[in-house]
Amino acid sequence: MTRHDLAAAKRQDRSNGIAEVGQDGRAAPAFIDRLDAALALAAAGWSVFPLRGKVPAIAGGRGVLDATVDPEQIRNWWTRYRGANIGARVPDGLLVLDVDPRNGGDLAALEFGNEPLPETLTCWSGRGDGGRHLYFRWSGGPISSRRLPPGIDVKISTGYCLVPPSVHPATGLPYRWEHHEIAVLPTWLRMLLRPMTVVRPSLNPTSSGGPALVGFVHTLADGNRNRGLFWAACRAVECGNLALLDDLEAAGQRIGLPFAEVRSTIASARTKASRA
């Protein structure tokens, strides 16, 4: 078996969408049996483990932490859990974009105002609704999906994906690969996935800190305004400076937050801080 023969894989009958995939995104000849597919993935360096539907099948197991490339263990699992779907831990150095149309996932919304995403290795869901996993190379580091559109999430090596020839538990239809070289995560998407940080001003809890907190709210950028206002309001309540909440409310509106959102955020901060 040639692990990196993409041309050979494309000559196969790919109606079942089943193939071995290497970490370089190339594929080897297709397989029908799930055990064979799991062993092929493991041979390509992808750690796998059995699933019942979409959830781990191993009784008393550790979920994705059980995933392995050990062929003997894999044979034992698929002998014990016959017909199990295949869970593949996301390999180190890869990031998966998870598109779920049932929750509003739409790549057009993600790409709006940016360059289109490049073609890359893709796994299409057996649900048949356009859901899919797109695999990208990335250099690692902290990430956050907070700024992604609804219905789009990310998976890294702490998570796993259902892979072909697994079947969707609701439809019984198989997942399928769409073979492309695994693309590098675009710069604009890497920037979008960077966690947002709130730069907290130095504040002596024994003082009111009013000017510092109001000034801090005035510096908040779009996408960080609500969270920053909430943090500032919590600090004001903790310091016992409830009169400052009116100033923070005005500051929140000046930076463009809707009145109702500002009032709700400050009320939540008052409740949270009073319970602390």
Please write the tens of the pLDDT for every residue from 142-159. Answer: 888 878 888 999 999 999
Mind listing the pLDDT tens digit for each residue in 5-39? 333 333 333 333 334 444 444 443 333 589 999 99
Q: Report the distance separating Cα 237 and Cα 140, nearest Å.
A: 38
Q: Minimal CA–CA distance to 51: which of 69, 67, 72?
A: 67
pLDDT at 226: 87
- φ/ψ of residue 89, rounded to 5: -65, 140
Compute the Cα dihedral for 220, 223, 224, 226 and give only its sign.
Answer: positive
Asked if 104 and 150 touch (Cβ cutoff 8 Å), the reply is: yes
Task: With cut-offs at 50, 70 and 90, classify the pLDDT of residue 199.
Answer: low
**Rounded CA separation 241/228 (Å):** 17
| Residue of higher predicted confidence among 234 and 71 | 71
pLDDT reading at 201 higher than 70 = no
Judge whether residue 91 has pLDDT over 70. yes
The count of C-alpha atoms lying within 13 angstroms of the C-alpha of 267, restricted to the half-sphere facing its C-beta, is 6
Question: What is the model's pLDDT at position 65?
Answer: 94
Contact yes or no for 46/182 (Cβ under 8 A): no
Query: pLDDT, tens digit, for every residue of 32-58?
Result: 589 999 999 999 999 999 999 999 999
What pLDDT sits at residue 102? 93
DSSP 68-82: B--HHHHHHHHHHST
Domain locations in the chain as residue ranges: 6-192, 210-275
